[in-house]
Amino acid sequence: VFCTPCELDETAHSQYDATNLALFGEVDFALTERVELTAGLRFERRTADYAESFGNRFEPTDRMLGGELALAWNFAEPWTTYLRLARGYKAGGFNVSFAGVDFDQVDNVTPAQIEFDPESLESLEAGIKGVWLDGRIRGEIGVFAARRDDQQVKIPLQLTLGDPSSFLFLTENAERGRHRGAEASVEYRAAESLTVSASLGLLDTEIEEFSLYPALEGRAQAHAPRSSFGLAAEYRPAGGWWGRVDVMGRSDFYFDYSHDQKS
């Protein structure tokens, strides 16, 4: 099919600026000879400015608070146990792929969706680790659980059915998500120049609430295999040359939120 002229795209201009100002600190307390407490806090203020040639403009200000409270207890040689409560965050932003979209011609998006909000995460971790044979063997096992509020999820979208040139990705906020799991690792220095190690991970995730895309509620998060493992051997002689071999594996997982099949 030939057409003259044949124009598929419309030129768009956008400008995006952001300024981050952060204040943070951390302090360690030796409560006893065997118990140590760590406390940290971080506050961040982020201002952004987005404008485009089609008249959309946003000037949000995000105020985000994060930190941690951790307790380490060396209750008996060679064992140390730990408990950590933490809050993290991820700044919001803009779907710049919307620049040039005529919102009067599409029904599945609005100009307000150009902007997405910050995400926060509260996590609780606990574990135990030890060192044996004068440091030749090191092992650790831990469990964790986390909740994500306003979770940022990248969604594939086709603005016009049958028009592949209108396909794009946008980031949206799911109201709530969670993940939990366990990890274990061991490292053994078999010789002065040879170290072998192994690790195992178990993970369970879920998008718990997503009002804009309710079909995704109850589904596992993308790129989150339920199990994974790793084996490694490293040879590092005194001469400077060294070599390492790694074998890694993981169970199937959702590659993206547009796929119903696991890969």
Residue 3 has pLDDT above 60, yes or no: no
Per-residue confidence (pLDDT) for residue 6, from 0 to 100: 44
φ, ψ of residue 135 to 5 degrees: the values are: 90, 0
Residue 36 has pLDDT above 70, yes or no: yes
Per-residue confidence (pLDDT) for residue 37, from 0 to 100: 96
What's the pTM value of the predicted model, to 2 decimals? 0.81
Give pLDDT tens digits for 67-85. Answer: 999 999 998 888 999 999 9
